[in-house]
Amino acid sequence: MKRNPFKFAALNSFKILCTISVILLTCAIISAQTVATKKLGRVNLFAGVWETVSNQGNKYRITLQQDGKRVTGTYQPHNGTIDGEIDGAVLRFKWTQGD
């Protein structure tokens, strides 16, 4: 039985998006708690390196930089990029898969 390569690619991209969304949501929750408890002036809510493993055992590394409200970064594998803006404790972003 032949596999449909387009269906496989779409499913793979969806899994990557879900994984990235979970990581960024976790970052937002942790960061919001940090701000609420420490009441710091200017805080980098999302900057850092985040690593995770999907349900299928795929390992992902997300590296984020923050300059004010702007957040940019990359994720590996797939040479992806992330570009977004912080609104309160929420990061709204677009991601692009490189491979």
Q: What's the pLDDT score for residue 28? A: 66
Q: What's the pLDDT score for residue 37? A: 44
Q: What's the pLDDT score for residue 14? A: 74
Residue 92 in tokens = 């709204």
Give the whole-angstrom CA distance, residue 59 versus residue 98: 16
Per-residue pLDDT tens listing for the chain (99 residues): 555 554 545 557 777 777 787 787 776 666 655 554 454 455 667 888 988 888 888 888 989 999 888 999 998 988 889 999 988 778 899 988 877
| Rounded to 5°, angle at Cα 13 from 81 and 56 | 110
Would you list the domain boundaries of the chain? 5-96
